């Protein structure tokens, strides 16, 4: 059974949402944006602790903080968005200015509800120690408590978490019906719905109702991308373990998956262009640029020259694709417009169509022709480049409780902040300490002033 990526993944969490595709390296952000990014990450962590106790902090995740970032980016500047937090082991026992307010609380509510779905998914699958009945009973109790806690916090900020719960519950049924020839967009739909609702509510909190529609579209495509990248990264591990994977189940090729990923990124950039921000630099950096890096990382193409550039501390309930593809179409460039009038109709200025009905003004991809390696540009994707090579086998992920134990050890020894390199507690991927000095010279600029996104 799979649940939701990012906020949910395959196998352990393979169906809807938010635990970590946006993992920026400090040298790409620059000092100013890095400080802001850490403020939102710590703000999410402290919002979880403040409303729900210390244990709730384990659901802190990389992508959840984007909710807080978007809320603050749209809001008028006031003095209530920051506070000084006390020393914390995750910051090397240093104080810091952290985000607070409704954006951080909304991010906390979303993270709790989706993490509870992940725990239930582990219990259903009988993963590791959760195969033991007493432990499974305790885990279910934790999941129920997180559901209620997320609903309370969501209600406090005017957000109904029922849309997230419904998406989680529908995901299993969608996956059970999926098979060869099924559109991958049908599989990613619950993830898209959940993230669209969360992104759109940031406009309500910030007092920008006009931003709700473009941000809902950005969230929908972010959910699609999170689900998709999670499937790509876990494809071989899932094949080895016999776990369900969307790409394998639907017969979607890597070339087609890459086309969908690039198209989703293009749609996110167009949607952000239609939204109004008070200060959108960090949101722009994360959603218009770091997502592109995440795509390259997942497909093993161009990547950051800094070997292990992930800056974030990994205090998440699971590393996946939070907030996650159809058959191969023809003729769409990496950021070019897909063909007009696909099987869903709805021609529009950006091409593409909404798989759920109606025209899509932001692109976002439409399913096309037959499955197989002969997608756009041949097996190498666009322009007939080299074929995507299979990824090397990945080390097995730790179970939920074992990962929690390792995370506590990493936090208490400050390795998360200060180590040159450490192993992620759940994913077992190599990470760099978030405060470790990055001295590479890659020529990146902090403000993205020279980018061609039009933002």
Q: Structural domains in the chain?
A: 27-297 (1.10.600.10), 399-434 (no CATH)
- The rounded distance, in Å, linking the Cα atoms of 230 and 4 is 9
Q: What does the pLDDT average to over 427-440?
A: 59
Q: What does the pLDDT average to over 68-85?
A: 87
- The rounded distance, in Å, linking the Cα atoms of 148 and 290 is 33
205-209, 314-318, 396-400, 409-413 — which is least confidently predicted?
Answer: 314-318
- The rounded distance, in Å, linking the Cα atoms of 369 and 223 is 24
70-84, 143-157, 202-216, 404-418 — which is least confidently predicted?
Answer: 404-418
pLDDT at 415: 63
pLDDT exceeds 90 at position 333? no
- The rounded distance, in Å, linking the Cα atoms of 446 and 425 is 30
Two tokens, residue 78: 């006031």
Q: What does the pLDDT average to over 25-47?
A: 87
Query: Of residues 160 and 61, which shows the higher confidence score?
Result: 160
pLDDT exceeds 80 at position 185? yes
- Hey, which of 73-87, 211-225, 402-416 has the most confident mean pLDDT? 211-225
φ, ψ for residue 85 (rounded to 5)?
-95, 150
pLDDT at 362: 55
pLDDT at 372: 39
pLDDT per position as a tens digit, 103-126: 999 999 999 988 888 888 778 767
Within 13 Å and on the Cβ side, how many CA atoms surround 94?
A: 12
CA 368 to chain CA mean position, Å: 26
pLDDT at 119: 85
pLDDT at 27: 76
**3-class DSSP state of 155:** helix
- The rounded distance, in Å, linking the Cα atoms of 276 and 273 is 8
- Tell which residue, 337, 328, 356, has the closest CA to residue 247: 328
pLDDT per position as a tens digit, 342-388: 333 334 433 344 444 444 555 554 444 433 333 443 333 333 334 44
Two tokens, residue 72: 């603050």
- The rounded distance, in Å, linking the Cα atoms of 183 and 175 is 11
Q: Are the CB atoms for 110 and 64 separated by under 8 Å?
A: yes
pLDDT exceeds 70 at position 455? no
- The rounded distance, in Å, linking the Cα atoms of 18 and 324 is 8
For the chain, the C-alpha Rg in angstroms (whole number) is 20
The full length of the chain comes to: 455
What proportions of the chain, in percent to the nearest 5, are helix, strand and coil?
Answer: 50, 5, 45
Q: What is the pTM of this model?
A: 0.68
- The rounded distance, in Å, linking the Cα atoms of 386 and 380 is 5
- The rounded distance, in Å, linking the Cα atoms of 238 and 249 is 11
Element of type H or E holding 431: strand 430-431
N- to C-terminal Cα separation, the chain:
40
Kindly give, in sequence order, each residue whose CB lies less than 8 Å from that of residue 52, ignoring residues fewer than 6 positions away: 108, 112, 146, 149, 153
pLDDT at 258: 96
- The rounded distance, in Å, linking the Cα atoms of 325 and 379 is 16
**3-class DSSP state of 149:** helix
- What percent of the chain stands above pLDDT 90? 36
Confidence band (pLDDT; 50, 70, 90) for 438? very low
pLDDT exceeds 60 at position 310? no
Alpha helices (H) in 206-332, listed in sequence order:
212-241, 246-250, 254-273, 281-284, 291-299
């Amino acid at each position: 059974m799979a649940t939701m990526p990012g906020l949910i993944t395959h196998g352990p969490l393979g169906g809807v949402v938010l635990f970590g595709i946006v993992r920026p390296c400090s040298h790409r952000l620059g000092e100013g944006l890095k400080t802001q990014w850490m403020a939102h990450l710590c703000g999410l962590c402290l919002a979880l602790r403040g409303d729900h106790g210390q244990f709730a902090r384990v659901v802190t995740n990389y992508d959840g903080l984007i909710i807080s970032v978007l809320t603050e980016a749209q809001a008028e500047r006031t003095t209530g968005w920051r506070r000084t937090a006390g020393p914390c082991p995750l910051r090397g026992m240093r104080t810091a200015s952290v985000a607070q307010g409704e954006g951080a609380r909304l991010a906390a509510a979303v993270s709790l509800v989706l993490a509870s779905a992940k725990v239930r998914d582990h219990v259903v699958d009988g993963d590791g120690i959760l195969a033991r009945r007493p432990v499974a009973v305790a885990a279910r109790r934790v999941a129920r408590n997180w559901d209620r806690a997320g609903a309370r916090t969501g209600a406090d900020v005017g957000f109904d978490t029922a849309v997230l719960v419904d998406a989680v519950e529908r995901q299993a049924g969608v996956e059970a019906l999926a098979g060869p020839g099924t559109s991958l967009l049908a599989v990613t739909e619950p993830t898209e719905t959940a993230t669209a609702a969360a992104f759109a509510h940031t406009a309500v909190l910030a007092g920008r109702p006009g931003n709700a529609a473009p941000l809902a579209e950005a969230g929908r495509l972010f959910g699609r991308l999170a689900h998709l990248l999670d499937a790509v990264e876990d494809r071989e591990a899932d094949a080895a373990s016999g776990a369900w994977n969307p790409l394998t189940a639907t017969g979607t090729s890597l070339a087609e998956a890459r086309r969908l990923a690039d198209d989703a990124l293009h749609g996110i950039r167009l949607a952000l262009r239609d939204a109004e921000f008070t200060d959108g630099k960090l949101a722009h950096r994360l959603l218009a640029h770091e997502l592109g890096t995440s795509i390259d990382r997942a497909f093993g193409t161009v990547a950051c020259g800094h070997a292990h550039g992930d800056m974030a501390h990994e205090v998440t309930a699971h590393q996946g694709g939070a907030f996650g593809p159809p058959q191969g179409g023809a003729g769409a460039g990496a950021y070019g417009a897909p063909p007009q009038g696909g099987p869903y109709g709805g021609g529009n200025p950006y091409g593409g169509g909404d798989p759920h009905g109606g025209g899509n003004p932001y692109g976002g991809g439409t399913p096309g022709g037959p499955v197989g390696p002969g997608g756009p540009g041949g097996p190498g994707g666009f322009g007939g480049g080299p074929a995507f090579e299979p990824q090397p086998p990945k080390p097995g992920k730790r179970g939920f409780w074992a990962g929690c134990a390792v995370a506590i050890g990493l936090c208490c020894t400050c390795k998360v902040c200060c180590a040159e390199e450490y192993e992620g507690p759940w994913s077992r991927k190599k990470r760099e300490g978030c405060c470790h000095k990055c001295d590479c010279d890659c020529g990146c600029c902090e403000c993205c002033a020279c980018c061609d996104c039009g933002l």
